[in-house]
């Protein structure tokens, strides 16, 4: 099997898998070293495949089918918990938005979909590079959350409600097809 054949098969294996595939498992399947698989993944990414490395293995990033905008409020100390809780339930925090009385609508892309990205975001906040946008509107802000289906968004909504982050009267529901 050539390297090209192996990479074509690796992407098919990742696409068909219902769980993350580890580099070790893929290496055993093709009788190559794990480092060869790591190089194959790098080449596949360069070819345009959006492959995500998780702590359990590789997955293919697929388009999210549903989205919802939630109005939330929490303290700076609760920020990391909010983000981690959303991604742990399968959501992606697409953005943060505020409506300021003077400045109007302000929106920033976040694209937070992993604990690693949460950690990077929190490091930027803690290092003083920036402060949360919510701080200029008394902690009130909106997040557009993407998920694989409506049921996932319902779980996220329930969690936000349970933790006291959700502002009930202002939720805006949007579904993307």
Q: What is the pLDDT along the chain (177 residues), one digit of tens a residue?
A: 899 999 989 988 988 787 899 999 999 999 999 999 999 999 999 888 889 998 899 998 876 578 899 999 999 999 999 999 999 999 999 999 999 889 899 999 898 989 999 999 999 898 876 788 898 888 899 999 999 889 999 999 999 999 999 998 644 444 333
Which residues contact residue 140 at a Cβ distance below 8 angstroms, ignoring those fewer than 6 apart? Answer: 71, 72, 73, 98, 134, 167
Q: Are 94 and 111 in contact (CB under 8 A)?
A: yes
Residue ranges making up the domain that contains 10: 3-60
Annotated binding site for Ni(2+): 74, 82, 141, 143
Is the same domain home to 80 and 119? yes
Q: Is the pTM of this model over 0.75?
A: no
Is the same domain home to 119 and 148? yes
Is the same domain home to 166 and 86? yes
* Domain stop point among 60, 86, 104: 60
Is the same domain home to 71 and 108? yes
Is the same domain home to 8 and 51? yes
Annotated binding site: 74, 82, 141, 143
Integer CA distances (angstroms), 22 to 13, 18, 41, 120, 142, in order: 11, 13, 11, 24, 36
Q: Are 86 and 72 in contact (CB under 8 A)?
A: no
């Amino acid at each position: 099997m050539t390297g090209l054949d192996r990479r074509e098969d690796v992407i098919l294996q990742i696409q068909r898998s219902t769980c993350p595939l580890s580099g070790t498992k893929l290496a055993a399947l093709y009788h190559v070293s794990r480092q060869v698989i790591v190089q194959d993944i790098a080449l596949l990414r360069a070819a345009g495949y959006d492959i995500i490395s998780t702590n359990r293995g590789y997955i293919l990033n697929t388009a999210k089918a549903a989205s919802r905008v939630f109005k939330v409020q929490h303290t700076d100390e609760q920020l990391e918990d909010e983000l981690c809780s959303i991604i742990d339930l399968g959501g992606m925090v697409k953005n943060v938005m505020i409506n300021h009385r003077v400045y109007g609508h302000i929106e920033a892309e976040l694209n937070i979909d992993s604990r690693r990205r949460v950690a990077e975001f929190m490091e930027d906040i803690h290092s003083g590079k920036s402060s949360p946008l919510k701080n200029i509107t008394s902690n009130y802000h909106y997040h557009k959350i993407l998920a694989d289906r409506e049921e996932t968004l319902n779980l996220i909504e329930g969690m936000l409600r349970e933790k006291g982050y959700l502002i009930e009267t202002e939720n805006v529901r949007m579904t993307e097809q």
